[in-house]
Structure 1
Amino acid sequence: MSKFHLGLIINPLAGLGGPAGLKGSDGIAEQALALGVQPKAAQRTRIALEQLLAVRERLEFLTLPGVMGAELLAEMGFAHRTLGELGAGPSSAADTRRAVELLQDAGVALILFAGGDGTARDVCAAVREGQPVLGIPAGVKIQSGVYAISPRAAGELTRRLVEGGLVRLASGEVRDLDEAALREGRVAARWYGELCVPEEGGYLQQVKQGGMESEELVLSDLAAWLEDSWEADVRYIFGPGSTLHGLAQNLGLETTLLGVDVIENGRVIARDVHEAQLFELVREHPARLLVTAIGGQGHILGRGNQQISPRVLRAVGLDQLRVVATKRKLGTLQGRPLLVDTGEVQLDDAFPDAVRVWAGYREELLYPLSR
C-alpha cells in the first residue's frame, strides 16, 4: 500500500511569550526563556500526532531537522524523511518559509504546522495557491481561521483525511496583531491573506471577531453583583479582554486590557502577571478565576491567556472558574460550544460538559463546553 505523505513544521519558539505575559513571542524568546518558560510547541504537536498513531503504518512524514519536526517524529516512531538544513542558532521565519517551499516541492498532501499567527503569516508568505495546510495551535495570539480548535482536533481531522473520509476544503483567513502595540495595550490587527484548509464539523476554529462585545449596562449590572458578593481574603483572577476590563472599570479598578490581574479585598494587588507570578499568588491561597470568551470563536482558555496554565488551574480548582460573557457575545458563537485548550488533554477532559456563565445581575447561564 502506498504511503500517505504529510508535511510537518514545528515552530519551536511558538507560545513562549504567553506564560511570560509578553502578549506574543515575536523577538522575545530569550526574555521568555530567562523567566523560566519552557517551550511547549513540541508537546502540543505530540498531542496532535498521538491521534495518528492508529494509522502510523499508512503514513510517511516529510519534515525539517531537529526540533522543527524530525526529533519528535523519531521519538514517536513515525516514518519520516528530513528535508533541508538548519543553522546553528534558533529557528527563524525564513526557516518556516523555506520549509513550506521544500514540502510543496515534495508533493505532500497536507502541511501540518505548529505555531501561532506569526507562523501562519510565514506559511502564507510561501505557500502556493491550493496547497492544503492545517495549523496546530501552539502560539499566544491565534486570531487566524487556519488552526484547529485544539491540537487533538488537528490530529483527528488529519486522521479522517488519511482514512479516506470526506473532508471539505475552505479558505481560512490569516490575521495577526502588532505585538509591540499589544504590549502597550493597543489592539492593531491586519489581514495577511488566506490559506486552503480542511474543514469538517467543529474541528476548525473561527476567525476572532474584534470590537467591543459587551454592553455597558450589562457590565454595570455584573459589577454591582460582584461588588455585592466579594469574598474577604479571596484572590480574584481577572483574565484578559474587553469584557473583564470593562467589568473592572465599573468597579473602579485599574486593570490591564490584555493582561492577567489579581484582585483581593476590592483592590488590585498584582497587575499584568506572568505565569510564575500567578502561580505563587494562588497556590496556597483561596482564589476565583474569571475569564471571558473570544467573540465569534469561543475559546475561554488557551488563547491569549496562557498565563493561566494547567498548574494554575489546578491550584485554583476547576469548580472556581466562571465565564463572564454577555448574551450578545454568546450569540456570536451561533450555537457553537465554548472551548478549552489548556495544553494538557487530561486536564481538558476534566472540564464539565457545560459551564456556568455570568451574563447579567444574578443571572447565570449553563452553556455547552467542548475540547
Structure 2
Amino acid sequence: MRVGFLCNPIAGMGGRVGLKGTDGKLAEARERGADPRAPERAVRALRALADRDADVDLLVWGGPMGETAARAAGLSHEVLGAPEAYDRETDDGGETTTTLDLDPDRLEATGPDDTRAAARAFHEAGVDLVLFVGGDGTAADVAAALDGTETPMLGVPAGVKVYSAVFAVSPEDAAAVATQFDRTERREVTDIDEDEYREGAVHPELQGVAFVPVTDRLQSSKQSGGGTVESLAAGVADEARDHPERTYVLGPGSTLAAVKAELGFEGSPIGVDVWRDGEVLARDADEATLLELLDPDGDNEIVVTPIGGQGFVFGRGNPQLSPAVIRRADVSIVASRDKLDDLHVLHVDTDDPELDETLAGWVKVRVGRFETRMLKIV
C-alpha cells in the first residue's frame, strides 16, 4: 500500500492561546507562547502506523511537512518534494535533520500552495491514500488538489476547528483506518471564516467533496443540535450558587451560553469563561489564564457540552482546555436531549493518550434541571 503523508505544521497553534485558529495569526500565536501541535500528532499517527506492522510504502513531503515527523517516528520513507520556500539543507554540512523539527522559521516556510502541491504529487505518484495532518483549512486544500480524482484522503485532526467529515477521531485511529479500509465514500469538506469565528459567528461553508475511507473511526460532520436548554442551564446555575468556593470553567457553545446567561453574564460565545461566587474572573481565557485562576487545592469544575453530530467533549473547539487544565478539575457534561438523540457515544482527543484513557467510560450527562443520561466516552 502506498500512502502519501503531509503535515500542516502550524495547524492548531492558535488554539491554546485563545486565538481560535492560526490563519493569519501565526506571529501573534508565537508571541503568546504557542507551541506547534500538529508535528507531535503527526509523529503519533506515524508511530501507530509502524506499530500496526503494515506493509506501507510511505511517501512524504519535505521538512516540517512530513519528512521530519517520519524521521522522528523511525519510518522508512521517500521524500517526494518539499515546500517551495523551504531549504532542506541545515548548517551541519548539508545533512537533513533527524529530529522533529520545530524551528519557527521552518514552520513559516510552508503554506496552502505547498499543501496542494504535495497532494497533487502524491496523486501523480499513484498513492492509495493521502494522509494529512491539520484542520479544516488543510482538508480544503487537499480536497481541492484531489478534485476530479478518486484518490481518497484522510485527516489526522490537529486544527482548532475540525468540522469536516474527513477526519479520524484520533491520530491512532487514523493509522488504523489507513491500514484497514477496503472501500471509500464521498464526504463533505467544510470550513469556516476564522475572523467571523473569533467574533462568535459559526457558518460552515462547503469547500468540496472528497473520497474518504468508510469506517466507524471517522467523525461525523458538525451539525447543530436542537432542543431547549433553559432547565438544564438553571440546574447548573443552582449548583454553582450552592458552591461559592468552587471555580467554574465554562466552555464554548450555545448550551453553555445559556448557562452563562443564567449566571447573569454574557460570556464569549466560542471561548472559555471563568466564574466563581457571582464574579466573572475571565472571559475568553487561554490556557495560561485558566491555569493561573484554577484553585490549587483542586475545587474546580469544568462544564462542557459535546459538539452536536460529532460528540467530542474535548479536542474540538476548546483546546484552551488542555490536559494540564483538565487534570486540575472535575468535569461536568451538559447537553440538550435533542443533541444526545443524535449521539451514541462521546469522544475526547486531548493530545494526551493517557488522559484520554482516564476520561473514557460511562459518564452522566445533565439534560435537565435534575435529569441526567448515561453516555459512554470511547
> What's the TM-score once normalised by structure 1's chain length?
0.91
SS in 2 for 1:262: strand
SS in 1 for 2:280: strand
SS in 2 for 1:249: helix
SS in 2 for 1:360: coil
Q: Which runs of 5+ in 2 are unaligned?
A: 87-107
Equivalent residue letter for 2:281? I
Residues 56, 78 of structure 1: 8 Å contact kept? no
Match of 2:289 among 267, 271, 277: 277
Q: Which runs of 5+ in 1 are unaligned?
A: 162-166
Tell me which moved more, 275-284 or 187-196.
275-284
Partner of 1:342: 350
Do residues 208 (structure 1) and 216 (structure 2) align?
A: no
Runs of 4+ in structure 1 displaced over 4 angstroms? none
1:50 and 1:255, CA in 2 relative to 1: closer, same or farther beyond 3 A? same
Residues 155, 167 of structure 2: 8 Å contact kept? yes
**Cα distance between partner residues in 1 of 2:66 and 2:284:** 33
Do residues 299 (structure 1) and 312 (structure 2) align?
A: yes
Equivalent residue letter for 1:233? E
Do residues 312 (structure 1) and 332 (structure 2) align?
A: no
Do residues 194 (structure 1) and 194 (structure 2) align?
A: no
Equivalent residue letter for 1:53? A
Tell me which moved more, 285-294 or 53-62.
53-62
SS in 2 for 1:52: helix
Give percent identity, aligned residues only.
39
Deviation for aligned residue 1:72:
1.3
RMSD: 1.6
**Cα distance between partner residues in 1 of 2:175 and 2:294:** 34
Mapping of residues 252-291 of structure 1, within 5 Å: 252-282=264-294, 284-285=296-297, 286-291=299-304
Do residues 119 (structure 1) and 133 (structure 2) align?
A: no
Residues 230, 265 of structure 1: 8 Å contact kept? no
Deviation for aligned residue 1:368:
0.9
SS in 2 for 1:139: coil
Partner of 1:330: 340
CA-to-aligned-CA distance 1:164-212 (integer Å, 9 cap, x gap): xxx3311121111111111112222211111100012x200000103x6
CA-to-aligned-CA distance 1:96-145 (integer Å, 9 cap, x gap): 00001111111111010000001011111111431111000000000000
Mapping of residues 8-47 of structure 1, within 5 Å: 8-47=5-44
Equivalent residue letter for 1:147? F
Equivalent residue letter for 1:269? L
1:323 and 1:288, CA in 2 relative to 1: closer, same or farther beyond 3 A? same
Equivalent residue letter for 1:132? P
**Cα distance between partner residues in 2 of 1:283 and 1:63:** 45
Deviation for aligned residue 1:216:
4.5
Match of 1:171 among 154, 164, 186: 186
Residues 181, 187 of structure 1: 8 Å contact kept? yes
**Cα distance between partner residues in 1 of 2:293 and 2:374:** 29
Deviation for aligned residue 1:221:
3.9
SS in 1 for 2:155: strand
> What's the TM-score once normalised by structure 2's chain length?
0.90
Deviation for aligned residue 1:224:
5.3
**Cα distance between partner residues in 1 of 2:75 and 2:281:** 49
**Cα distance between partner residues in 1 of 2:237 and 2:115:** 49
Equivalent residue letter for 1:45? A
